[in-house]
Amino acid sequence: MTDISQHSEAAPETLLGRSIRALTRYPRRSPATLGYLVLLAVDTLVVKRVLPESTAGRILQDISTNIDNLPRHPVTSLLGSLLVVDRGTLLDYLLTVGLGVAVCLGFLEHRIGAPRAFAAVLLGHVGATLVTSGVVAMAIDAGTYPPDIRHALDYGVSYVSIAATASITPLLPRRARPWWAAVAVLYPLTAAEWYGRFPDFTTIGHIAAALIGLTVAFLMTQVGPRRANAPSSQIGPDHMA
């Protein structure tokens, strides 16, 4: 007679074992993403906890992608803004850094390689930043946004995160792709701040980043061969690392 209790205990252990194996394989499967996460953690710690407040404030001003600073320091703001995590709640960190960067970007790197994975999210970040800059300029001129938005601090990895989240869509099972893409593109609206019928520029940027990441990923997976070591029909802890 089969001992049912043994089977009921084995399933959680198997899932835990797969999760542990996925974590141990992460450095080998997604080394560039792991390096980026370490750099992000160190930079954020130094700027937010180690440096004097006045020095940290100047750095954040220099890397901000608002329309006042971006034309004066385009390279510093576009690249520097990717190296410090913005303020947020624990849930924000889990979604942005945990799900978007650690899981989705890591999975994307594992499947299509670091150069193409990082190209997709960088295009999402840069494209979304340029889109929002144009939107902010026009909205301020039209009186939709308040003028002080042109000086607002705007840095962080949220555009990279949502671009990565959308970019894994073509690597998912076919039936899941429309739902995943829809959530990636429309989720920013759940936290939107509205100015009449116009959402805030960050929400617009997140939607733009998701659309760019989604488009670039489909082009990359169609033009170049996908890595075949993780079938797209099987997405689990071993494959998401």
Segment 28-79, tens digit of pLDDT = 999 999 999 999 999 999 999 999 999 999 999 999 999 999 999 999 999 9
Q: Are 111 and 230 in contact (CB under 8 A)?
A: yes
Assign 198 to helix, strand or coil: strand
pLDDT tens sequence across 157-180: 999 999 999 999 999 999 999 999
Binned at pLDDT 50, 70 and 90, residue 23 comes out as: confident
Q: Give the pLDDT of residue 239.
A: 43
Average pLDDT of every residue of the chain:
88
Joined tokens for residue 182: 């829809």
Phi, psi of 86 (to 5 degrees): -70, 165
Q: Are 149 and 70 in contact (CB under 8 A)?
A: no
Q: Give the pLDDT of residue 233.
A: 39
Q: Are 125 and 52 in contact (CB under 8 A)?
A: no
Q: For residue 226, is it left (φ>0), alpha (ψ between -120 and 50) or beta?
A: beta
Q: Give the pLDDT of residue 232.
A: 42
Q: Give the pLDDT of residue 15.
A: 63
pLDDT tens sequence across 194-225: 999 899 999 999 999 999 999 999 999 886 54
Residue positions counted in the chain:
241
